[in-house]
Amino acid sequence: MQDALIRKLESFEELIDADREALRALVSRVRKVPARSDLIREGDVPSDVHLILSGYACRYKILPDGQRQIMAYFVPGDFCDLNVFILDQMDHNIGTISPCHAVEIPRQAIEEIMANHPRVTRALMWCALVDEAVLREWLVNLGSRPSDQRIAHLFCELYLRLEAVGHVNDNSYLFPFTQNEVADTMGLSDEHVNRTLRELRRLELITLKHRVLTIMDVEQLKAYCGFNPNYLHLRNARWSGRRQVPWLNSVQGE
């Protein structure tokens, strides 16, 4: 269970046994957290870092009108707030989606590991930067893609992220999000998410039942939404898709 993190870090950086030991030592106070509860809330003063060992969580905000926006998904091996704890107070919430095993790692433990394990430090910084790159890609998703590609893109991303920690089997992974949660992630209405999922099923791109998502043909789904994995900065996967000449004034046409 606790190897998700190590596995992820190793997809960024070679580690030695001592590194792995140190990482395993971080995982002491494991907390079992029920589904749909907050790990930390807006306004709280952060002290510890949260690491997800099992289950899914998310980062979200609630607007004054009650509207929720989910800004990140966390899967096993993910830190929820590796650096945020430097700030004065949380400007958002972190809550579980499914029941989770989570660890609260004191800031000091992180600093210690950073002082003594340069490879781990590099890998952790890499993680933080990838998280930010993911956030940027989500912005692109909301700003530039129609609803079907938007959702397909999310599925592709989760596929690669979960694969990196060994949580994909037979092109399938656990997808415990309700349609309402997907809607609040993608800036869509519940009903529209429902219809869009139906459409993706009809096109035989995916299957989704009993909280298990199966991607019938990964390459096809990637092509469907123009998925470019470069933002995940995995050591393996590089892109093979079309490339566009950059510069201003959105060149029309395909």
With a CB cutoff of 8 Å and minimum separation 6, the contacts of 115 are none
Q: Please tell me whether residue 80 binds its own copies under the rule CB under 8 A.
A: no
Q: With CB under 8 A as the contact rule, which of the stretches 26-34, 109-117, 126-134, 157-165 interacts with its own copies? A: 126-134
Q: Between residues 202 and 242, which has the closer beta carbon with respect to its own copies?
A: 242
Q: Please tell me whether residue 63 binds its own copies under the rule CB under 8 A.
A: yes
- State the Cα–Cα distance between residues 90 and 122, nearest whole angstrom: 25
Q: Please tell me whether residue 16 binds its own copies under the rule CB under 8 A.
A: no
Q: Please tell me whether residue 119 binds its own copies under the rule CB under 8 A.
A: no
Burial zone of 253 (CB within 10 Å; 0-12 exposed, 13-18 middle, 19+ buried): exposed
Q: Please tell me whether residue 115 binds its own copies under the rule CB under 8 A.
A: no
194 binds, among its own copies, DNA, none (CB under 5 to 8 A by kind): DNA
Q: Please tell me whether residue 34 binds DNA under the rule CB under 7 A.
A: no
DSSP-based three-state secondary structure for 70: strand
Q: What torsion, rounded to 10 degrees, do the Cα atoms 81, 84, 88, 91 define? A: -70
191 binds, among its own copies, DNA, none (CB under 5 to 8 A by kind): DNA
Residues 126-155 that bind DNA (CB under 7 A): 146-148
Q: Please tell me whether residue 153 binds its own copies under the rule CB under 8 A.
A: no
- State the Cα–Cα distance between residues 128 and 78, nearest whole angstrom: 10
Helix axes 179-186, 147-163, angle to 10 degrees: 110
Please name the residue that has the structure tokens 């990140």.
72
Q: Which of 2, 83, 179, 214 binds DNA (CB under 7 A)?
A: 179
Q: Please tell me whether residue 118 binds DNA under the rule CB under 7 A.
A: no
With a CB cutoff of 8 Å and minimum separation 6, the contacts of 56 are 73, 74, 75, 96, 97, 98, 100, 174, 176, 177
Cβ atoms of 60 and 34 closer than 8 Å? no
14 binds, among its own copies, DNA, none (CB under 5 to 8 A by kind): none
Q: Please tell me whether residue 250 binds DNA under the rule CB under 7 A.
A: no
- State the Cα–Cα distance between residues 130 and 234, nearest whole angstrom: 9
Q: Please tell me whether residue 118 binds its own copies under the rule CB under 8 A.
A: no
Q: Between residues 8 and 59, which has the closer beta carbon with respect to its own copies?
A: 59
DSSP state of 194: H
- Written as one letter, the residue type at 180 is N
147 binds, among DNA, its own copies, none (CB under 5 to 8 A by kind): DNA
Site residues, DNA (CB under 7 A): 146-148, 178-180, 187-192, 194-195, 197-198, 210, 249
